[in-house]
Amino acid sequence: MKLFRPHRPFTIPNFPIKPISIPASTDDDGKFVTYLINIVRGKQSWRIALTSPFVCNTIKPHHVEQVLAQTLDDSRLALRFFNFLGLHNNFTHSTASFCILIHALVQSNLIWPASSVLQTLILRGSNNPTLVFEALANSYQKFNFVSSYGFDLLVQNYVHYKRVLDSVVIVRLMGESGILPEVRTFSAVLNGLIRIKQFDVVLGLFDEIVGMGLRPDVYSHTAVVQSLCQLKDFDRAKEMIRSMELNGCELSVVTFNVLIHGLCKSQRAWEAVEVKNSLSQKGLKADVVTFCSLVLGLCSIQEFEVAKQMMDEMVELGFLPTKEALSCLVDGLRRKGCVGDAFDLVNKVGKVGLVPSSFVYNALMNSMCKDGKLEEVEVLYNNMGEKGLFPSDITYSILINSFCKMGQLDVALWFLGKMTPLGIKPTVYHYNSLISGHCKLGKLHAAKDLLTEMIDKGLSPTVVTYSSLISGFCNEGQVHKAFRLYHEMTGKGISPNIYTFTALIYGLCHANKMAEASKLFDEMQEWNVVPNEITYNVLIEGHCRGGNTLRAFELLDEMVEKGLVPDTYTYRPLISGLCSIGRVSEAKEFMDDLHLENHKLNEMCFSALLQGYCKEGRLKDAVSACSEMVERGIDVDIVCYAVLINGFLRHHGAKSLLSLLKEMHDQGLRPDNVIYTSMIDAYGKAGNLCKAFGVWDIMVSEGCIPNVATYTALINGLCKAGSVDKAELLCKEMLVSSSFPNQITYGCFLDQLATEGHMDKAVQLHNAMLKGSLANTVTYNILIRGFCKLGRIEEAVELLLGMVDNNILPDCISYSTIIYEYCRRGNLLEAMKLWDCMLSKGLNPDTVAYNFLIYGCCVAGELTKAFELRDEMMRRGLKPNRATYNTLIEGTCLRS
**In which domain, by residue range, is 47 found?**
1-179
Query: CA-to-CA distance for 473 and 706, rounded, in angstroms?
Result: 32
Residue 322 is classified by DSSP as P
Cα separation of the two ends of the chain: 120
Cβ count within 10 A of residue 163: 17
Residue pair 536/507 in contact by the 8 Å Cβ criterion? no
- Across the chain, what does the average pLDDT equal? 85
In a domain, 43, yes or no: yes
Phi/psi at 853 (nearest 5 deg)? Answer: -70, -35
Kindly provide the b/e burial profile for residues 775-795, where b requires at least 16 CB atoms within 10 angstroms of the residue's own CB: bbebbbbbbbbbbbeeeebeb
Say if residue 865's pLDDT is above 80: yes
DSSP string, 509-560: HHTT-HHHHHHHHHHGGGGT----HHHHHHHHHHHHHTT-HHHHHHHHHHHH
Q: What is the pLDDT of residue 5?
A: 37
What average pLDDT score do residues 491-506 get? 94
**How high is the pLDDT of residue 354?**
65
Residues 6+ apart with CB under 8 A from 724: 718, 749, 752
Render pLDDT for 233-278 as a digit per residue (tens, 0 to 9). Answer: 888 988 888 888 888 888 888 988 888 899 988 889 898 889 888 8
What is residue 636's three-state secondary structure?
coil
Is pLDDT at 349 greater than 80 in this prediction? no
User: With contact defined as beta carbons under 8 Å apart, do 419 and 425 qualify?
Assistant: yes
Q: Are 602 and 570 in contact (CB under 8 A)?
A: no
Can you give the pLDDT at residue 18?
34
Q: How large is the average pLDDT for residues 786-809?
A: 88
User: Strand runs (DSSP E) across 418-565, as ranges?
Assistant: none
Question: Higher pLDDT residue, 125 or 725?
Answer: 725
Selected residue with higher pLDDT from 16 and 207 = 207
Is 8 part of a structural domain of the chain? yes
What pLDDT, on the 0 to 100 scale, is given for residue 7?
39
CA distance 823 to 831: 6
- Does 872 fall in a domain? yes
446: buried, middle or exposed (CB in 10 Å: 19+, 13-18, 0-12)? middle
Distances (CA, A) of 453 to 146, 428, 459, 500, 501: 83, 11, 9, 22, 25
> Over the stretch 430-474, which tens digit does the pLDDT of each residue have?
999 999 999 999 899 999 999 999 999 999 999 999 999 999 999
Mean pLDDT lowest among 351-365, 438-452, 584-598, 774-788:
351-365
Taking the C-alpha atoms of residue 365 and residue 403, their distance in angstroms, rounded to an integer, is 11
Cα–Cα distance, 296 to 647 (Å, whole number): 60
Domain presence at residue 538: no
| Domain annotation covers residue 143 | yes
∠406-410-411 over CA atoms, to 5°?
70
What's the per-residue H, E or C state across 230-260? HCCCHHHHHHHHHHHHHCCCCCCHHHHHHHH
Q: What is the pLDDT of residue 353?
A: 61
* CA atoms of 124 and 131, how far apart (whole Å): 14
Residue 12 has pLDDT above 60, yes or no: no
Q: How confident is the model at residue 633 (pLDDT cuts 50, 70, 90)?
A: confident
Q: CB-side exposure of 456: number of CA atoms within 13 Å?
A: 6
- For residue 16, the model assigns a pLDDT of 35
Q: Is 593 exposed, middle or buried (0-12, 13-18, 19+ CB in 10 A)?
A: exposed
Domain membership of residue 158 (yes or no) is yes
Q: At 370, is the secondary structure helix, strand, or coil?
A: helix
Q: With 0-12 CB in 10 A as exposed, 13-18 as middle and 19+ as buried, what is 28?
A: exposed
Residue 708 in this model has a pLDDT that exceeds 80 = yes
Q: Give the confidence band of 13 by pLDDT, cuts at 50, 70, 90.
A: very low
In 806-862, alpha helices (H): 812-825, 828-840, 847-859
Q: Compute the average pLDDT of residues 50-78.
A: 89
Does residue 2 have a pLDDT over 60?
no
CATH code assigned at 582: 1.25.40.10
Assess whether pLDDT exceeds 80 at residue 555: yes
What is the pTM for the complete model shown? 0.61
Find the mean pLDDT for residues 689-704: 87
847 belongs to a structural domain = yes
Beta-carbon contacts of 676 under 8 Å, excluding residues fewer than 6 positions away, are 695, 696, 698, 699, 704, 706, 710
- Please tell me what DSSP assigns to residue 495: P
Residue 835 pLDDT grade (very low, low, confident, very high; cuts 50, 70, 90): very high
Total domains in the chain come to 3
CA separation for the pair 284, 105 (Å, rounded): 41
Q: What is the pLDDT of residues 807-827, one digit of tens each?
A: 888 888 999 999 999 998 889
What does the pLDDT read at residue 434? 93
Q: Indicate the pLDDT class of residue 15, thresholds 50, 70 and 90.
A: very low
Listing DSSP states for 257-311 in one string gives HHHHHHHHHTT-HHHHHHHHHHGGGGT----HHHHHHHHHHHHHTT-HHHHHHHH
Flag whether pLDDT at 778 surpasses 60. Answer: yes
pLDDT at position 892, please?
81
Residue 318 in this model has a pLDDT that exceeds 70: yes
pLDDT tens digits along 649-660? 877 666 677 777
CA separation for the pair 182, 204 (Å, rounded): 18
CA distance linking residue 412 with residue 443, whole number of Å: 14
Q: What is the spatial distance between Cα 432 and Cα 520, in angstroms, rounded to a whole number? A: 25
With residues binned 3-state (H G I as helix, E B as strand, rest as coil), the percentages for the chain, rounded to 5, are 70, 0, 30
Higher-pLDDT residue of 377, 104: 104
pLDDT number for residue 774: 84
Q: Is residue 4 predicted with pLDDT exceeding 60? A: no
Domain end position, chosen among 145, 179, 213: 179
Last residue of one domain, picked from the residues 608, 634, 659: 659
Give CA–CA dist 697/688, Å, rounded: 15
Give the integer Cα–Cα distance in Å for 566 and 833.
49
Contact partners, residue 583, CB within 8 Å, separation at least 6: 549
The average pLDDT across 778-801 equals 91
In a domain, 761, yes or no: no
Confidence band, pLDDT 50/70/90 cuts, at residue 562: very high
Q: Region 575-580: what's the mean pLDDT? A: 91
* pLDDT attached to residue 14: 34
The pLDDT assigned to 429 comes to 92
- Segment 671-695 shows an average pLDDT of 86
Out of 128, 155, 179, pick the residue that ends a domain: 179
CB 593, CB 578: distance < 8 Å: no
From CA 727, how far away is CA 206, in angstroms rounded?
100
205: confidence class by pLDDT, cuts 50, 70, 90: confident
The model's confidence at residue 487, banded by pLDDT at 50, 70 and 90, is very high
- Average confidence (pLDDT) over 67-91: 87
